[in-house]
Amino acid sequence: MRFLLSFLSQVKEDVVIFYKSDFIRLSEYSKNIGKWTRNYFLNKFSLNHRTHNSISIYEKNHELIRSTNKQISKKYEDNDAPLLDLYTFTISPYEILDIVHVYRQDELPSLQNSSTYNYQRPLNPNKLKKIRENLLTECDFIFPSNVLVILSKECKYMKDGDGNSCLYIPKKYGSISVIDGQHRLFSYADENVKLMIQDDCKIMVTAVYFRTDEQEIITKFSARVFIEINFLNTLWQGFGKN
């Protein structure tokens, strides 16, 4: 017994617990987004595939707009809210599908007065199917609303060698986390859709970069953004029914 405990203490850093729920989600992802499940799976075992390259987003090629030193919340209970930079740009979904992380329900913390709003399942097969039907029948189809994402701390805004301002996003799973619009984005994760629209498609993205190195703060206010977006969507849906 003592030997076993000693052995486990030595290897525990290399052991990954893979729950039944993880297997079920992985199976669902495999059915719904095919090969784009790969990096999600590798991430479960801390085997992130990463290259030394980055996605370079420029004003000219991607219609990049930057707004700095904004604040997501001015509520008293959010006195630790960090400043943020806000980016909007257009990009091919196939440039980011391999690195996008979709928040799970248990990754977003419960916030005060938020019990009314349930976090949705990361990917709903019926929603994906319905959106793909539009993509497969209308090659010029474009979504009128932006996909909302959170940028990781590794993303940088700086000038390149020619003095052009650029947003650099590492080609690593989790560099981008989707807060709203995951079904719009992952509807492109389909071989038939990709074959139909080739490389001509673009999506509009709004990206939030929190000016803090504390991951706990980033996660907390990612949840705040998620809740407020869903609250507004609920109000809009209610308005449409009246």
Residue 133 corresponds to which amino acid?
A: E
Cα(82)–Cα(70) distance, rounded to whole angstroms?
9
Domain-by-domain residue ranges, the chain?
48-241
- Residue predicted with more confidence, 211 or 112: 211
pLDDT (mean) for 220-226:
76
Burial of 143 (0-12, 13-18, 19+ CB in 10 A): middle
The pLDDT tens digits of the residues spanning 43-57 come to 777 776 665 688 999
The pTM assigned to this predicted structure is 0.78
Is 144's pLDDT higher than 90?
no
Instruction: Cite the beta strand spans of 104-194 per DSSP E.
Output: 147-151, 156-159, 165-172, 176-180
pLDDT for 119: 43
With bands split at pLDDT 50, 70 and 90, how would you rate the model's confidence at 222?
confident
pLDDT (mean) for 88-100:
94
Burial of 177 (0-12, 13-18, 19+ CB in 10 A): buried
pLDDT for 213: 84
pLDDT (mean) for 108-114:
47
Is 17's pLDDT higher than 90?
no
Question: Among candidates 72, 29, 68, which has minimal Cα distance to 223?
Answer: 72
**Cα separations (Å) of 40 from 93, 95, 102, 157, 242?**
17, 16, 9, 26, 41
Cα(157)–Cα(164) distance, rounded to whole angstroms?
10
pLDDT (mean) for 89-98:
94
Tokens, residue 41 = 């799976």
The pLDDT tens digits of the residues spanning 166-181 come to 999 999 998 999 988 9
Question: Among candidates 189, 59, 87, 58, which has minimal Cα distance to 131?
Answer: 189
Is 195's pLDDT higher than 60?
yes
Task: For CA atoms 189, 123, 90, 159, give the dihedral sign.
Answer: negative
| Out of 77-91, 98-112, 172-186, 191-205, least confident range | 98-112
pLDDT (mean) for 156-173:
92
- Contact status, residue 152 vs residue 209, Cβ threshold 8 Å: no
Cβ count near 75 (within 10 Å): 10
Instruction: Calculate the average pLDDT of the chain.
Output: 79
**Cα separations (Å) of 176 from 100, 119, 172, 204, 212?**
5, 19, 9, 14, 16
Using a pLDDT cut of 70, give the percent of the chain over it. Answer: 73
Burial of 28 (0-12, 13-18, 19+ CB in 10 A): middle
With bands split at pLDDT 50, 70 and 90, how would you rate the model's confidence at 12?
low
Tokens, residue 163 = 């003095």
Is 185's pLDDT higher than 90?
yes
Burial of 204 (0-12, 13-18, 19+ CB in 10 A): middle
Give residues with Cβ within 8 angstroms of 34, minimum separation 6: 189, 190, 191
Task: For CA atoms 57, 94, 143, 26, give the dihedral sign.
Answer: negative
